[in-house]
Amino acid sequence: MIKSLGNIIFKAVQRAKPILTNGKTLVKTKEKFSLKNPYILEALPEKYLSELTIFEGKKLSTVCRVLDSPNSSKILNRYKTFVSKASKGFSAQEITQLINKANLRGKNPLNSNLDAMVYLNELDGKIAQHFDAHGLAKVSFPEQLVQLNKLLTKGIDKTKTFCTAPLDIPNELKRGAGAALGTGGGCAYRDGSFILVSGKGKRLINEGIEHVIVNDVYYGIIDDLKAKFPHINFIKAENAAKYFNKM
């Protein structure tokens, strides 16, 4: 975290407020932090946007105080873990409703989940290699949603083998990398409904899931996923290359 990030955010919010007759601006005590505020977006370095989504809707003064703390990185990681563990996830009935909403019966498995296979070819391997990833691809479409719900609710079970690979790697490194990592082309599987992705420079097994790339089969339930797991960044596969290349 950069020094005085909280102060930078607070001053950005102040700029959005009208100037009083005494020349000062008034920020309400109950003011909320929101990345929808264009002044905050403008003030924040882009690399921090995904990190700070977990504070969406929280009290601004508290968020700023935490970010200006000398131990801000440790506090942020602890809070992420707390938010993740606190997630209740979807019930079995809600999972069934989501599967019906996605209309899986109307989708041909041979002609589905192709967006990640196509659009992720535009990833910059020099950037994508810094993201740890795991593709949910070896079970049926409905079971992939069940697995995603379990992982986002309970976290990754560190007592069991959990294979990961870079989201992508530079082309010059791909020869032989697939065999070494047990994946095609040396990167995480792309033919499933979801790709779990860590924060930049982090590991899924250690710091947990920060981003989920959603393939075309489940585009229709992305808003439902965002509402249930607001601390996770859900990205359509067709937009994923642009999203990660910016980092």
Closest Cα partner for 194 from 89, 113, 90? 113
Q: What is the pLDDT of residues 109-131, one digit of tens each?
A: 778 899 999 999 999 999 999 99
CB 189 within 8 A of CB 168: no
Q: What is the pLDDT of residues 51-108, one digit of tens each?
A: 787 788 889 999 999 998 888 888 777 777 666 655 689 999 999 999 999 998 878 7
Residue 185, pLDDT score: 57
Residue 187 CA: distances (Å) to CA of 25, 180, 226, 236? 50, 11, 26, 18
Q: What is the pTM for the complete model shown?
A: 0.66
